[in-house]
Amino acid sequence: MSGLTVADWLRIEAMAKFVVAHSTVSVLRRLLPAAASVAAHRSLGRFTCFDHGALLVFPERVDYALAELARRGFRPTPLVPSTVVRARLAERHGLRPEDVPVMITQAGLPQGRSLELFLLPASERGAAAVMTDEREHQHQAHLAFRLREPREELLRLVVDALTGQGGGLEADGGGFNPRQGARGCTVLYFRGPGRLPAPYRWPRRLEIITDGRHSQVLAAHLRGTDTGR
């Protein structure tokens, strides 16, 4: 049986092609606002590297989706429960977290990059409203950069570069997932104005991901997030 709809496969294929075709520098050129400073580009290029693109998709069943990904040449990793995206969806749609049991897999791509898929089964109680909204607006789609060294001082430098006058991005939530990686991982999301040009039309949404728990940086970032978004 098929795990994913044609609509979701088209989104997956578009994101996978983008991730393989672009470097750290070229993604930043597309993603950062036109007014972003040279210093912001240099800081991101020095301290981070382009890691993955991400989408929220809605399989009939998660195991079918993993099997289909493998048949199509992707290399899906074992599933990990989502914490950040699950909480975001529950808050956005007025649902209980248990109504949106999102799972994460990383589908391997060339050049050491991946496609991160957030999997929410279409049969789940909260999926119908989320599916319609996400396919139209792609709120959870983003492009992710990994901190080259998981050091808090570097993370602060990157955050300042993105949200200061030279970067032009706003804090857009984040969190800590203890089940991703040996030490867990901290993720910080940022958002810029508008969307990427056609044919992608994804929101200008960037993720910084780093190993370990960085509680102070995360807390400051969440205080700066517009919770009404």
Residues of the chain predicted below pLDDT 50: 228
What pLDDT is attached to residue 34?
85
- Whole-number Å distance between alpha carbons of 226 and 20: 32
Q: How far apart are CA 12 and CA 7, in angstroms?
A: 9
Could you give the angle at which helices 215-223 and 152-163 cross, rounded to 10 degrees? 20
pLDDT reported for residue 1 = 54
pTM, full prediction:
0.93
- What is the per-residue pLDDT for 69? 93
Residue 175: per-residue pLDDT: 93
Model pLDDT, residue 166: 80
Count of all residues that appear for the chain in the document = 229
Q: Is 91 domain-assigned?
A: yes
The CATH number of the domain where 88 resides is what?
Answer: 3.10.180.10
Q: What is the structure's pLDDT at 165?
A: 78
Residue-level pLDDT at 103 = 96
Question: Range of 202's domain?
Answer: 6-223
CB 207 within 8 A of CB 189: yes
User: What is the total count of domains within the chain?
Assistant: 1
